[in-house]
C-alpha cells in the first residue's frame, strides 16, 4: 500500500488504495478486520493493544468511527497514541449533528506542523504510506518484542473485543 485516499460522503467513507482498489467502509461500533486494516468503534479504539495487534499482523490503517461530543478529544488522544506507538495511519470519522467530518492521524514526523494530525480538504484526504514505512525502519520497539508470542495471546483479546 503506497497511497491511501479517503472521501466521506454523508455517513459513507470510501477508501482508495494506490489509486486502484476502492472500498466502502461501513460504520463499525465494535472491531472488524478488513483487507486494508481495521474498522472500529469509539469504545474499542480506547484499547491500545488493538493497534499493536494491527501492526504485528501487517495492517497499516485504522478507521475509527465515533460521535463528536464533549469527550471526542479523549477519543482523538487514544487514536493518536496508538498511531505514534505503532507507526500506523488512522482516519477518524466523526458523526456530528451539524455534519460529519474526517481527520487523518499519522506519526508526528509526517504532519506539516508536527502534531500528527492531517486536516482534510473538505471531506477528503490523501496520505502517502512510504514515509510511514521509513519511520518504522528507525523505530526500535517492534524489533525488541517477541512478536510470535504476542500474537499467540493477542488473538484471544481481539476475539473478546468482538464478542464483549
Q: How far is Cα 136 from Cα 143, in angstroms, rounded to an integer? A: 10
- Could you tell me the pTM of the whole model? 0.82
Convert 48-76 into a string of H (helix), E (strand) and C (coil).
Answer: HHHHHHHHHCCCCEEEEEEECCCCHHHHH
Domain range annotation of the chain: 3-157
Q: Which residues pair with 3 in a beta bridge?
A: 128
Which grid coordinates belong to 40? 472500529
Write down the pLDDT at residue 95. Answer: 85
Query: CATH classification of 3-157, choosing from 3.30.70.330, 3.60.110.10, 2.60.40.10, 1.10.357.10?
Result: 3.60.110.10
Per-residue pLDDT of the chain (164 residues; tens, 9 = 90+): 799 999 999 889 999 999 889 999 998 888 899 999 999 988 888 888 888 888 888 899 999 998 877 666 666 677 888 999 888 999 999 888 888 889 999 998 888 889 888 887 789 999 999 998 888 888 766 666 677 766 776 666 556 555 44
Q: Which burial class, exposed, middle or buried, applies to 40 when counting CB atoms under 10 A from its CB (0-12, 13-18, 19+)?
A: buried
Dihedral of alpha carbons 79, 80, 82, 88, sign: positive
Amino acid at each position: 500500500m503506497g497511497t491511501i485516499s479517503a472521501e466521506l460522503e454523508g455517513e459513507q467513507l470510501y477508501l482508495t488504495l494506490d489509486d486502484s482498489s476502492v472500498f466502502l467502509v461501513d460504520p463499525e461500533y465494535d472491531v472488524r478486520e478488513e483487507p486494508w486494516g481495521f474498522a472500529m468503534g469509539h469504545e474499542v479504539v480506547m484499547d491500545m493493544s488493538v493497534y499493536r495487534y494491527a501492526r504485528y499482523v501487517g495492517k497499516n490503517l485504522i478507521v475509527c468511527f465515533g460521535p463528536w461530543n464533549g469527550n471526542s478529544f479523549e477519543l482523538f488522544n487514544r487514536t493518536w497514541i496508538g498511531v505514534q506507538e505503532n507507526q500506523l495511519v488512522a482516519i477518524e470519522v466523526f458523526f456530528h449533528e451539524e455534519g460529519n467530518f474526517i481527520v487523518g492521524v499519522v506519526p508526528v514526523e509526517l504532519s506539516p506542523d508536527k502534531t500528527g494530525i492531517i486536516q482534510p480538504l473538505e471531506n477528503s484526504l490523501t496520505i502517502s504510506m512510504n514515509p510511514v514505512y521509513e519511520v518504522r525502519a528507525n523505530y526500535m520497539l517492534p524489533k525488541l518484542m517477541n512478536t510470535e508470542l504476542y500474537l499467540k495471546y493477542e488473538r484471544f483479546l481481539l476475539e473478546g473485543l468482538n464478542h464483549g
